[in-house]
Structure 1
Amino acid sequence: MGLISLLTTNPTAFVIIAVALALSLTVHEFAHAWTADRLGDPTPRRYGRVTLNPARHLDPFGTLLLLIAGFGFARPVPINPNNLGRWGTLWVSAAGPISNLLIAFVAAVLLRVLPANQITDLVLLYVLSINVVLAVFNLIPIPLLDGSRILGALVPSLGRSLAQFEAQPFSFVIVMLFIFIARDPIGNIISSVQRWVLTTVGVGL
Protein backbone atom coordinates (compact mmCIF):
# COMPACT_ATOMS: atom_id res chain seq x y z
CA MET A 1 0.00 0.00 0.00
CA GLY A 2 1.38 3.39 -0.97
CA LEU A 3 1.65 6.58 1.04
CA ILE A 4 -1.32 8.09 -0.77
CA SER A 5 -3.72 6.01 1.36
CA LEU A 6 -2.50 7.88 4.47
CA LEU A 7 -3.87 11.17 3.12
CA THR A 8 -7.35 10.27 4.34
CA THR A 9 -6.55 7.88 7.21
CA ASN A 10 -3.60 9.69 8.83
CA PRO A 11 -2.60 12.95 7.09
CA THR A 12 -0.06 13.81 9.81
CA ALA A 13 1.79 10.55 9.22
CA PHE A 14 1.62 11.18 5.47
CA VAL A 15 3.35 14.56 5.80
CA ILE A 16 6.01 13.25 8.20
CA ILE A 17 6.81 10.19 6.08
CA ALA A 18 6.79 12.11 2.79
CA VAL A 19 9.17 14.79 4.08
CA ALA A 20 11.43 12.24 5.82
CA LEU A 21 11.58 10.12 2.68
CA ALA A 22 12.39 13.06 0.42
CA LEU A 23 15.17 14.26 2.70
CA SER A 24 16.56 10.76 3.32
CA LEU A 25 16.66 9.94 -0.39
CA THR A 26 18.33 13.29 -1.02
CA VAL A 27 21.03 12.61 1.58
CA HIS A 28 21.53 9.10 0.15
CA GLU A 29 22.16 10.38 -3.38
CA PHE A 30 24.20 13.34 -2.14
CA ALA A 31 26.46 10.91 -0.25
CA HIS A 32 27.14 9.04 -3.50
CA ALA A 33 27.86 12.28 -5.35
CA TRP A 34 30.00 13.85 -2.62
CA THR A 35 32.10 10.72 -2.18
CA ALA A 36 32.72 10.37 -5.92
CA ASP A 37 33.63 14.06 -6.11
CA ARG A 38 36.07 13.75 -3.21
CA LEU A 39 37.65 10.67 -4.77
CA GLY A 40 38.39 12.51 -8.01
CA ASP A 41 35.42 11.84 -10.28
CA PRO A 42 34.03 15.16 -11.62
CA THR A 43 30.96 13.51 -13.19
CA PRO A 44 28.46 14.12 -10.34
CA ARG A 45 29.47 17.78 -10.06
CA ARG A 46 29.16 18.18 -13.82
CA TYR A 47 25.53 17.01 -13.53
CA GLY A 48 24.82 19.23 -10.54
CA ARG A 49 24.43 16.37 -8.09
CA VAL A 50 26.86 17.47 -5.35
CA THR A 51 24.03 19.31 -3.58
CA LEU A 52 21.42 18.75 -0.89
CA ASN A 53 18.71 20.25 -3.10
CA PRO A 54 16.00 17.52 -3.32
CA ALA A 55 14.96 18.72 -6.78
CA ARG A 56 18.32 17.53 -8.15
CA HIS A 57 17.91 14.01 -6.78
CA LEU A 58 14.23 13.02 -6.73
CA ASP A 59 12.87 11.18 -9.75
CA PRO A 60 9.27 12.08 -10.77
CA PHE A 61 8.34 8.50 -11.73
CA GLY A 62 10.12 7.03 -8.71
CA THR A 63 8.30 9.46 -6.41
CA LEU A 64 4.96 8.63 -8.01
CA LEU A 65 5.63 4.92 -7.51
CA LEU A 66 6.42 5.63 -3.87
CA LEU A 67 3.10 7.39 -3.35
CA ILE A 68 1.03 4.77 -5.17
CA ALA A 69 2.82 1.45 -4.64
CA GLY A 70 4.80 2.04 -1.46
CA PHE A 71 8.22 1.68 -3.10
CA GLY A 72 10.16 3.91 -5.43
CA PHE A 73 13.56 5.36 -6.21
CA ALA A 74 15.56 8.55 -6.65
CA ARG A 75 17.66 9.51 -9.67
CA PRO A 76 20.89 7.49 -9.71
CA VAL A 77 24.03 9.60 -9.46
CA PRO A 78 26.10 9.34 -12.66
CA ILE A 79 29.71 8.35 -12.05
CA ASN A 80 32.66 7.28 -14.18
CA PRO A 81 34.23 4.13 -12.66
CA ASN A 82 37.36 4.77 -14.75
CA ASN A 83 37.99 7.85 -12.60
CA LEU A 84 37.46 5.95 -9.37
CA GLY A 85 39.00 2.53 -9.80
CA ARG A 86 37.75 -0.61 -8.13
CA TRP A 87 37.89 0.50 -4.51
CA GLY A 88 36.74 4.03 -5.21
CA THR A 89 33.66 2.62 -6.91
CA LEU A 90 33.04 0.43 -3.86
CA TRP A 91 33.18 3.40 -1.48
CA VAL A 92 30.93 5.50 -3.69
CA SER A 93 28.39 2.66 -3.82
CA ALA A 94 28.53 2.14 -0.05
CA ALA A 95 28.26 5.84 0.77
CA GLY A 96 24.50 6.00 0.26
CA PRO A 97 23.53 3.15 2.62
CA ILE A 98 26.15 4.31 5.15
CA SER A 99 24.60 7.79 5.18
CA ASN A 100 21.18 6.29 5.89
CA LEU A 101 22.53 4.17 8.74
CA LEU A 102 24.18 7.26 10.24
CA ILE A 103 20.87 9.15 10.10
CA ALA A 104 19.14 6.19 11.77
CA PHE A 105 21.70 6.20 14.59
CA VAL A 106 21.33 9.98 15.06
CA ALA A 107 17.55 9.55 15.30
CA ALA A 108 17.99 6.76 17.85
CA VAL A 109 20.38 8.87 19.94
CA LEU A 110 17.92 11.78 19.90
CA LEU A 111 15.14 9.42 21.01
CA ARG A 112 17.25 8.56 24.02
CA VAL A 113 18.48 12.01 25.05
CA LEU A 114 15.49 14.25 24.27
CA PRO A 115 12.57 14.55 26.70
CA ALA A 116 9.65 12.32 25.79
CA ASN A 117 7.26 14.06 23.43
CA GLN A 118 4.60 12.35 21.36
CA ILE A 119 5.19 14.29 18.13
CA THR A 120 8.99 14.39 18.40
CA ASP A 121 9.19 10.68 19.20
CA LEU A 122 6.90 9.87 16.27
CA VAL A 123 9.00 11.91 13.83
CA LEU A 124 12.25 10.35 15.04
CA LEU A 125 10.84 6.83 14.85
CA TYR A 126 9.69 7.43 11.28
CA VAL A 127 13.08 8.88 10.35
CA LEU A 128 14.87 5.92 11.93
CA SER A 129 12.61 3.37 10.25
CA ILE A 130 12.78 4.98 6.81
CA ASN A 131 16.56 5.21 6.84
CA VAL A 132 17.01 1.61 7.99
CA VAL A 133 14.70 0.54 5.15
CA LEU A 134 16.73 2.55 2.64
CA ALA A 135 20.04 1.19 3.94
CA VAL A 136 18.98 -2.47 4.01
CA PHE A 137 17.07 -2.27 0.73
CA ASN A 138 19.98 -0.70 -1.14
CA LEU A 139 22.48 -3.21 0.24
CA ILE A 140 20.65 -6.13 -1.39
CA PRO A 141 23.24 -7.49 -3.87
CA ILE A 142 21.01 -7.48 -6.94
CA PRO A 143 21.35 -5.30 -10.08
CA LEU A 144 20.25 -1.66 -9.96
CA LEU A 145 20.93 -1.48 -6.21
CA ASP A 146 24.05 -0.34 -4.38
CA GLY A 147 24.67 -3.84 -3.05
CA SER A 148 25.15 -5.06 -6.60
CA ARG A 149 27.84 -2.47 -7.28
CA ILE A 150 29.57 -3.24 -3.98
CA LEU A 151 29.57 -6.93 -4.88
CA GLY A 152 30.82 -6.08 -8.37
CA ALA A 153 33.74 -4.12 -6.92
CA LEU A 154 34.63 -7.01 -4.63
CA VAL A 155 34.32 -9.60 -7.42
CA PRO A 156 35.15 -7.82 -10.70
CA SER A 157 34.25 -10.78 -12.95
CA LEU A 158 30.79 -10.91 -11.39
CA GLY A 159 30.54 -7.13 -11.61
CA ARG A 160 30.79 -7.24 -15.39
CA SER A 161 27.90 -9.72 -15.57
CA LEU A 162 25.77 -7.61 -13.22
CA ALA A 163 26.48 -4.50 -15.29
CA GLN A 164 25.42 -6.32 -18.47
CA PHE A 165 22.20 -7.41 -16.76
CA GLU A 166 21.47 -3.83 -15.67
CA ALA A 167 21.73 -2.69 -19.29
CA GLN A 168 18.88 -4.98 -20.34
CA PRO A 169 15.46 -3.29 -20.76
CA PHE A 170 13.73 -5.93 -18.62
CA SER A 171 16.11 -5.67 -15.64
CA PHE A 172 13.91 -3.24 -13.69
CA VAL A 173 10.87 -5.52 -13.93
CA ILE A 174 12.84 -8.58 -12.80
CA VAL A 175 14.35 -6.73 -9.85
CA MET A 176 10.95 -5.42 -8.74
CA LEU A 177 9.50 -8.93 -9.05
CA PHE A 178 12.31 -10.34 -6.91
CA ILE A 179 11.74 -7.69 -4.24
CA PHE A 180 8.01 -8.44 -4.20
CA ILE A 181 8.63 -12.18 -3.82
CA ALA A 182 11.28 -11.70 -1.14
CA ARG A 183 9.43 -8.96 0.76
CA ASP A 184 8.92 -11.08 3.91
CA PRO A 185 12.58 -12.04 4.52
CA ILE A 186 13.63 -8.49 3.57
CA GLY A 187 11.13 -7.16 6.10
CA ASN A 188 12.53 -9.46 8.78
CA ILE A 189 16.06 -8.19 8.12
CA ILE A 190 14.85 -4.58 8.30
CA SER A 191 13.13 -5.24 11.64
CA SER A 192 16.29 -6.87 13.02
CA VAL A 193 18.45 -3.91 11.97
CA GLN A 194 15.97 -1.45 13.51
CA ARG A 195 16.14 -3.33 16.82
CA TRP A 196 19.94 -3.41 16.62
CA VAL A 197 20.15 0.36 16.08
CA LEU A 198 17.82 1.06 19.01
CA THR A 199 19.47 -1.36 21.42
CA THR A 200 22.96 -0.16 20.45
CA VAL A 201 22.17 3.35 21.70
CA GLY A 202 20.19 2.04 24.68
CA VAL A 203 16.64 2.87 23.62
CA GLY A 204 14.14 0.54 25.24
CA LEU A 205 11.87 -1.46 22.95
Structure 2
Amino acid sequence: MVNFTSHEIRDIIISMLVIGGVFAYVFRGINNGDFISLIPVTLVAVGFGFVFHELAHKFMAVRYGFYAEYRLWIQGLILAIITAALGFVFAAPGAVYIHGQYISKEENGKISIAGPLTNIALAIIFFIIPLFTPPSELLFLICSLGFTINSFIAFFNLLPVSMLDGAKILKWNPLVWLVTIAIAFVMTAYPYFVAYIF
Protein backbone atom coordinates (compact mmCIF):
# COMPACT_ATOMS: atom_id res chain seq x y z
CA MET A 1 0.00 0.00 0.00
CA VAL A 2 1.28 3.47 -0.92
CA ASN A 3 1.27 5.92 1.95
CA PHE A 4 2.10 9.63 2.00
CA THR A 5 3.51 11.54 4.96
CA SER A 6 2.29 15.06 5.75
CA HIS A 7 5.74 16.41 4.84
CA GLU A 8 5.58 14.59 1.52
CA ILE A 9 2.16 16.02 0.66
CA ARG A 10 3.42 19.49 1.59
CA ASP A 11 6.49 19.07 -0.64
CA ILE A 12 4.37 17.87 -3.57
CA ILE A 13 2.01 20.85 -3.29
CA ILE A 14 4.89 23.35 -3.05
CA SER A 15 6.65 21.74 -6.01
CA MET A 16 3.51 21.90 -8.16
CA LEU A 17 2.81 25.53 -7.30
CA VAL A 18 6.36 26.65 -8.03
CA ILE A 19 6.54 24.68 -11.28
CA GLY A 20 3.17 26.04 -12.36
CA GLY A 21 4.27 29.57 -11.48
CA VAL A 22 7.62 29.54 -13.29
CA PHE A 23 6.20 28.02 -16.46
CA ALA A 24 3.32 30.50 -16.43
CA TYR A 25 5.88 33.30 -16.14
CA VAL A 26 7.94 31.99 -19.06
CA PHE A 27 4.86 31.48 -21.26
CA ARG A 28 3.18 34.74 -20.17
CA GLY A 29 3.53 36.11 -23.71
CA ILE A 30 0.74 33.83 -24.92
CA ASN A 31 -1.57 35.42 -22.33
CA ASN A 32 -0.76 39.08 -22.97
CA GLY A 33 1.77 39.13 -20.16
CA ASP A 34 -0.71 38.02 -17.49
CA PHE A 35 1.03 35.03 -15.95
CA ILE A 36 -1.14 34.87 -12.81
CA SER A 37 -4.25 33.73 -14.68
CA LEU A 38 -2.06 31.34 -16.68
CA ILE A 39 -0.98 29.42 -13.56
CA PRO A 40 -4.04 27.08 -13.51
CA VAL A 41 -3.22 26.16 -17.12
CA THR A 42 0.42 25.37 -16.38
CA LEU A 43 -0.51 23.51 -13.19
CA VAL A 44 -2.54 21.06 -15.28
CA ALA A 45 -0.31 20.99 -18.35
CA VAL A 46 3.07 20.96 -16.63
CA GLY A 47 2.74 20.63 -12.86
CA PHE A 48 1.01 17.28 -13.06
CA GLY A 49 3.73 16.05 -15.42
CA PHE A 50 6.53 16.78 -12.97
CA VAL A 51 4.72 15.40 -9.94
CA PHE A 52 3.26 12.32 -11.62
CA HIS A 53 6.73 11.54 -12.98
CA GLU A 54 8.11 11.38 -9.45
CA LEU A 55 5.10 9.57 -8.02
CA ALA A 56 5.45 6.90 -10.72
CA HIS A 57 8.93 6.21 -9.33
CA LYS A 58 7.44 6.00 -5.84
CA PHE A 59 4.63 3.63 -6.79
CA MET A 60 7.00 1.30 -8.65
CA ALA A 61 9.49 1.31 -5.78
CA VAL A 62 6.75 0.51 -3.26
CA ARG A 63 5.58 -2.28 -5.54
CA TYR A 64 9.02 -3.86 -5.18
CA GLY A 65 8.81 -3.56 -1.41
CA PHE A 66 10.98 -0.49 -0.88
CA TYR A 67 10.21 2.58 1.17
CA ALA A 68 10.03 5.62 -1.11
CA GLU A 69 9.31 9.25 -0.28
CA TYR A 70 9.15 12.41 -2.37
CA ARG A 71 11.27 15.23 -0.99
CA LEU A 72 11.43 18.83 -2.00
CA TRP A 73 14.77 20.11 -3.31
CA ILE A 74 15.05 23.78 -2.33
CA GLN A 75 18.06 24.37 -4.58
CA GLY A 76 16.15 22.94 -7.53
CA LEU A 77 13.20 25.26 -6.95
CA ILE A 78 15.50 28.27 -6.62
CA LEU A 79 17.21 27.25 -9.87
CA ALA A 80 13.81 27.02 -11.57
CA ILE A 81 12.91 30.54 -10.42
CA ILE A 82 16.28 31.98 -11.51
CA THR A 83 16.15 30.35 -14.95
CA ALA A 84 12.54 31.47 -15.41
CA ALA A 85 13.66 35.05 -14.77
CA LEU A 86 16.19 34.53 -17.59
CA GLY A 87 13.49 33.35 -19.98
CA PHE A 88 13.68 29.57 -19.78
CA VAL A 89 13.06 26.88 -17.19
CA PHE A 90 15.43 24.28 -15.80
CA ALA A 91 13.43 22.61 -13.09
CA ALA A 92 14.35 19.94 -10.58
CA PRO A 93 11.77 20.54 -7.85
CA GLY A 94 12.43 17.34 -5.96
CA ALA A 95 13.04 13.64 -6.17
CA VAL A 96 11.84 10.33 -4.79
CA TYR A 97 14.28 8.87 -2.29
CA ILE A 98 14.22 5.09 -2.12
CA HIS A 99 15.38 3.11 0.88
CA GLY A 100 16.12 -0.59 0.80
CA GLN A 101 18.84 -3.10 1.49
CA TYR A 102 19.51 -3.97 -2.14
CA ILE A 103 18.02 -2.74 -5.41
CA SER A 104 18.84 -4.94 -8.38
CA LYS A 105 19.76 -3.52 -11.79
CA GLU A 106 16.40 -4.66 -13.16
CA GLU A 107 14.41 -3.17 -10.29
CA ASN A 108 16.32 0.09 -10.55
CA GLY A 109 15.74 0.19 -14.30
CA LYS A 110 12.01 -0.46 -14.02
CA ILE A 111 11.64 2.07 -11.20
CA SER A 112 13.51 4.61 -13.33
CA ILE A 113 11.54 4.06 -16.54
CA ALA A 114 8.21 4.50 -14.76
CA GLY A 115 8.73 8.28 -14.67
CA PRO A 116 9.41 8.90 -18.38
CA LEU A 117 6.69 6.42 -19.40
CA THR A 118 4.23 8.41 -17.31
CA ASN A 119 5.20 11.60 -19.14
CA ILE A 120 4.88 9.85 -22.51
CA ALA A 121 1.41 8.61 -21.53
CA LEU A 122 0.37 12.09 -20.38
CA ALA A 123 1.69 13.63 -23.61
CA ILE A 124 -0.33 11.15 -25.67
CA ILE A 125 -3.46 11.94 -23.63
CA PHE A 126 -2.94 15.69 -24.16
CA PHE A 127 -2.44 15.04 -27.89
CA ILE A 128 -5.61 12.99 -28.23
CA ILE A 129 -8.04 15.08 -26.16
CA PRO A 130 -8.50 17.91 -28.72
CA LEU A 131 -9.25 15.33 -31.41
CA PHE A 132 -12.38 14.15 -29.60
CA THR A 133 -13.65 17.30 -27.91
CA PRO A 134 -15.40 20.46 -29.15
CA PRO A 135 -13.01 23.28 -30.19
CA SER A 136 -11.86 25.32 -27.20
CA GLU A 137 -9.04 27.85 -27.09
CA LEU A 138 -8.36 27.12 -23.41
CA LEU A 139 -8.38 23.36 -23.88
CA PHE A 140 -6.10 23.63 -26.91
CA LEU A 141 -3.65 25.75 -24.90
CA ILE A 142 -3.59 23.26 -22.02
CA CYS A 143 -3.19 20.28 -24.33
CA SER A 144 -0.55 21.84 -26.57
CA LEU A 145 1.58 22.83 -23.57
CA GLY A 146 0.89 19.47 -21.91
CA PHE A 147 2.00 17.53 -24.97
CA THR A 148 5.11 19.63 -25.62
CA ILE A 149 6.39 19.82 -22.06
CA ASN A 150 5.64 16.23 -21.08
CA SER A 151 7.35 14.97 -24.23
CA PHE A 152 10.42 17.02 -23.37
CA ILE A 153 10.42 15.92 -19.72
CA ALA A 154 10.42 12.30 -20.89
CA PHE A 155 13.21 12.86 -23.43
CA PHE A 156 15.38 14.86 -21.05
CA ASN A 157 15.10 12.30 -18.25
CA LEU A 158 15.95 9.48 -20.67
CA LEU A 159 19.32 11.02 -21.57
CA PRO A 160 22.07 8.57 -20.52
CA VAL A 161 23.55 10.98 -18.01
CA SER A 162 24.43 10.13 -14.44
CA MET A 163 21.65 11.00 -11.97
CA LEU A 164 19.01 10.91 -14.73
CA ASP A 165 16.67 7.98 -15.35
CA GLY A 166 18.24 7.20 -18.72
CA ALA A 167 21.56 6.04 -17.27
CA LYS A 168 19.85 3.51 -14.99
CA ILE A 169 17.55 2.25 -17.75
CA LEU A 170 20.47 1.86 -20.15
CA LYS A 171 22.35 -0.27 -17.61
CA TRP A 172 19.31 -2.48 -17.16
CA ASN A 173 18.19 -2.90 -20.77
CA PRO A 174 19.81 -0.97 -23.67
CA LEU A 175 17.06 -1.97 -26.12
CA VAL A 176 14.27 -0.73 -23.85
CA TRP A 177 16.19 2.51 -23.34
CA LEU A 178 16.77 2.98 -27.08
CA VAL A 179 13.12 2.41 -28.02
CA THR A 180 11.83 4.66 -25.24
CA ILE A 181 14.16 7.57 -25.91
CA ALA A 182 13.46 7.30 -29.66
CA ILE A 183 9.72 7.62 -28.99
CA ALA A 184 10.29 10.56 -26.63
CA PHE A 185 12.57 12.25 -29.18
CA VAL A 186 10.01 11.94 -31.99
CA MET A 187 7.29 13.32 -29.72
CA THR A 188 9.51 16.21 -28.60
CA ALA A 189 10.48 17.08 -32.18
CA TYR A 190 6.94 16.74 -33.57
CA PRO A 191 5.71 20.32 -32.85
CA TYR A 192 8.85 21.82 -34.40
CA PHE A 193 8.61 19.54 -37.44
CA VAL A 194 4.95 20.43 -37.99
CA ALA A 195 5.72 24.14 -37.58
CA TYR A 196 8.52 23.84 -40.13
CA ILE A 197 6.32 22.03 -42.66
CA PHE A 198 3.39 24.43 -42.36
TM-score normalised per structure 2: 0.66
> Residues 114 and 34 of structure 1: is their aligned pair in 2 closer, same or farther, counting only changes over 3 Å?
same
2:186 equivalent among 178, 187, 192:
192
2:51 is the alignment partner of 1:26: yes
Calculate percent identity across the aligned residue pairs: 24
Task: Say whether the 8 Å CA contact 1:65–1:71 is kept in structure 2.
Answer: yes
Listed as ranges, the gaps of 5+ residues in structure 2 are 1-21, 84-88, 175-182, 192-197
**Which whole-Å CA distance do the structure 2 matches of 1:134 and 1:102 have between them?**
12
How far the C-alpha of 1:127 sits from its partner, in A, is: 1.0
How far the C-alpha of 1:128 sits from its partner, in A, is: 1.1
Structure 2 counterpart SS, 1:76 = strand
Partner letter of residue 65 of structure 1? L
Give the structure 2 partner of residue 35 of structure 1: 60
2:149 equivalent among 130, 134, 146:
130
Structure 2 counterpart SS, 1:107 = helix
> Residues 39 and 126 of structure 1: is their aligned pair in 2 closer, same or farther, counting only changes over 3 Å?
same
Partner letter of residue 79 of structure 2? L
- C-alpha root-mean-square deviation of aligned residues, in Å? 3.0
Give the structure 2 partner of residue 186 of structure 1: none
Task: Say whether the 8 Å CA contact 2:76–2:91 is kept in structure 1.
Answer: yes
**Which whole-Å CA distance do the structure 1 matches of 2:93 and 2:56 have between them?**
13
How far the C-alpha of 1:139 sits from its partner, in A, is: 0.2
How far the C-alpha of 1:108 sits from its partner, in A, is: 1.1
**Which whole-Å CA distance do the structure 1 matches of 2:128 and 2:170 have between them?**
31
Task: Say whether the 8 Å CA contact 2:113–2:165 is kept in structure 1.
Answer: yes
Q: Where does 1:41-52 land on structure 2 (aligned, <5 Å)?
A: 41=66, 43-44=67-68, 47=69, 49=70
How far the C-alpha of 1:35 sits from its partner, in A, is: 0.3
**Which whole-Å CA distance do the structure 1 matches of 2:42 and 2:79 have between them?**
15
Partner letter of residue 84 of structure 1? I
**Which whole-Å CA distance do the structure 1 matches of 2:72 and 2:137 have between them?**
30
**Which whole-Å CA distance do the structure 1 matches of 2:185 and 2:172 have between them?**
28
Task: Say whether the 8 Å CA contact 2:45–2:143 is kept in structure 1.
Answer: no
1:68 equivalent among 49, 57, 82:
82
2:96 equivalent among 51, 54, 77:
77
How far the C-alpha of 1:22 sits from its partner, in A, is: 2.3
How far the C-alpha of 1:13 sits from its partner, in A, is: 4.1
- Any idea what the Cα deviations from partners look like across 1:134-161, whole Å, max 9, x if unmatched? 1000000001111112123348xxxxxx
The count of residues paired between Structure 1 and Structure 2 equals: 154
How far the C-alpha of 1:59 sits from its partner, in A, is: 3.0
> Residues 135 and 109 of structure 1: is their aligned pair in 2 closer, same or farther, counting only changes over 3 Å?
same
Task: Say whether the 8 Å CA contact 2:57–2:115 is kept in structure 1.
Answer: yes
- Higher-strand-fraction structure: 2
How far the C-alpha of 1:83 sits from its partner, in A, is: 3.9
Q: Where does 1:39-188 land on structure 2 (aligned, <5 Å)?
A: 39-41=64-66, 43-44=67-68, 47=69, 49=70, 57-69=71-83, 70-80=89-99, 82-154=101-173
How far the C-alpha of 1:194 sits from its partner, in A, is: 3.8
